[in-house]
Amino acid sequence: MRALIHIGMPKTGSSTIQSFLKINSIALRKQGIRHDPVNRRFGSQYEIAATGLVRAGGLMRDDVALRVLGLRDAAAQRAYVDAWEARLRDGLRTWSEGLFIGSSEHIHAWLTRPEQISALDDTLQQYFEEVRYLVYLRPQVEMVVSTYSERIRRGDTLDFDAHFNSPLRALNYWKSMRLWAGVVGEDRITPRLLTPDALHGGDLLDDFCAVAGIERTGLKTPARMNTSLSAEAIALRRWLNRFLNVRNRAGKRAKPYKMALRLLETRLPKPGTRLQLSDDQRRKILADHAESNEKLRKRYFPDRDMLFPERPCKARRP
C-alpha cells in the first residue's frame, strides 16, 4: 500500500479536504483509497503529527490539542502514538486498498526540525511501500489576514498591527520546502499553489482529487469551513475574548462563550466588512517574500511568470 500525506498548512483549505475525505470515506474505498483517522470527531489527524514529535523524543505542546486528546504527559503521548502504529499494523493485514490518505495541518505546524520530519517519515516507511507528501501554498498577502482571523477565533485579543508586525516565519515557503525536501527528497513532496489559476479546474477539491488520483464524480462536496471573520465579527470576538474563555478544560467550545457569541452575533451586519490589507502593508509583504518566492517559482513552477498573481488591493485597514 502507498501513502499520500497532506501536511497542511493552516488556512489553506485543510478543513475542507479533511471533511471531503471523511464524508466520502466509504465511497473512496470503492476507488481503492483508505482514509482512516483515529478519531472521526476531529478533522486534523493529530496522530500523524504526534508521531513525528514523539518518535523524535519530543512532546506535543499545543494546549488545545492536549486538552482535546487528554495527553498531558510523555507516557500518555507515547501510548497514543504506539496505539496508532498498532492500528496501522492491524489495518494493513486486512485493507485491500492501494492508497492510504492522511491529512493534518498540525504536521506542518509542529514538525519544524529535520529530526522530527525524519522520525515521521521513517515510521511511515515501515508500513507503506511508498510515502508522498502534499502541501498547498496560499499567497502570503491572504495568509496574513486569514491567520489573524484564526487567532481571534481561537481566543486572542491582539490588534491587527500587533499580528502584522509579529514574526510570521511560516510564510517563507521556500525555507519550508527546503526543510521538507532536504529530509524526504524532492521527488516525494508536491507543492501546489492555492490560487484559481494554478488549481485544476480552479478548485481546491478538484485539484486535490487530481493529485491523489480520485474520481470526484458522484462524491459529496462539504460546506465551506472556517471562513475568515468579518471586521465586525473580529471586533466583537476581541472584546468577548477579554472576559470569557473560548474553550473549557476539556478543549471543547465553552458553553458560556457559545451562548454569548450566538446572542451578540445577531447584531452584526451580514455579510460584514471584509478584512483587507492597506496598500503599504501589501507592498511590505510582497517585498519581504519576493526573493524566496522567486526561488520557489524557479525550482517548482518554472512555467509561471510569477509565483502568485498580483491582485488590486483597496486601501482599507483591517
Confidence band of 315 (pLDDT split at 50, 70, 90): very low
Per-residue pLDDT for 312 more than 60?
no
Number of domains in the chain: 2
Per-residue pLDDT for 39 more than 60?
yes
Q: What is the pLDDT of residues 64-80, one digit of tens each?
A: 888 889 898 999 999 99
Q: Is residue 149 part of a domain?
A: no
pLDDT at 84: 97
- Report the alpha-carbon angle 216-203-181, nearest 5: 95
Closest CA to 116 of 128, 129, 127, 106: 106
CB neighbour list of residue 219: distance below 8 Å, 6 or more residues apart: 20, 24, 27, 28
Q: Kindly report the average pLDDT of the chain as a whole number.
A: 93
> Of 21-25, 137-141, 167-171, which range is least confident?
167-171
> Of 1-15, 125-139, 149-163, 217-231, which range is least confident?
217-231
- Are residues 122 and 261 part of one domain? no
- Are residues 193 and 124 part of one domain? yes
Confidence band of 298 (pLDDT split at 50, 70, 90): very high
Per-residue pLDDT for 131 more than 70?
yes
- Are residues 119 and 33 part of one domain? yes
Q: Is residue 223 part of a domain?
A: no
Per-residue pLDDT for 289 more than 70?
yes
Q: Is residue 293 part of a domain?
A: no
Looking at 220, 249, 265, which one is the last position of a domain?
Answer: 265
Q: What is the pLDDT of residues 135-156, one digit of tens each?
A: 999 999 999 999 999 999 999 9
pLDDT at 169: 64
- Are residues 236 and 108 part of one domain? no
- Are residues 112 and 35 part of one domain? yes
Q: Which domain holds residue 236?
A: 231-265
- Are residues 67 and 206 part of one domain? yes
Q: What's the CATH code of the domain at 25?
A: 3.40.50
Q: Is residue 88 part of a domain?
A: yes
- Are residues 42 and 184 part of one domain? yes
Q: What is the pLDDT of residues 225-282, one digit of tens each?
A: 778 899 999 999 999 999 999 988 888 889 999 999 999 999 999 889 999 899 999 9
Q: Is residue 286 part of a domain?
A: no
**pLDDT, mean of residues 182-188:** 97
Q: Find out whether 67 and 76 touch, Cβ atoms under 8 Å.
A: no
Q: Is residue 180 part of a domain?
A: yes
For the whole prediction, is pTM greater than 0.85?
Answer: yes
- Are residues 44 and 188 part of one domain? yes
Q: Is residue 236 part of a domain?
A: yes
- Are residues 244 and 111 part of one domain? no
pLDDT at 64: 83
pLDDT at 311: 62
- Are residues 72 and 39 part of one domain? yes
- Are residues 197 and 56 part of one domain? yes
Closest CA to 207 of 216, 173, 140: 216
The DSSP result for 176-239, as a single string, is: HHHHHHHHH-GGGEEEEE-STTTSGGG-HHHHHHHHHT---TT---PPP-SPPPPHHHHHHHHH
Q: Find out whether 124 and 84 touch, Cβ atoms under 8 Å.
A: no
- Are residues 204 and 57 part of one domain? yes
Q: Is residue 257 part of a domain?
A: yes
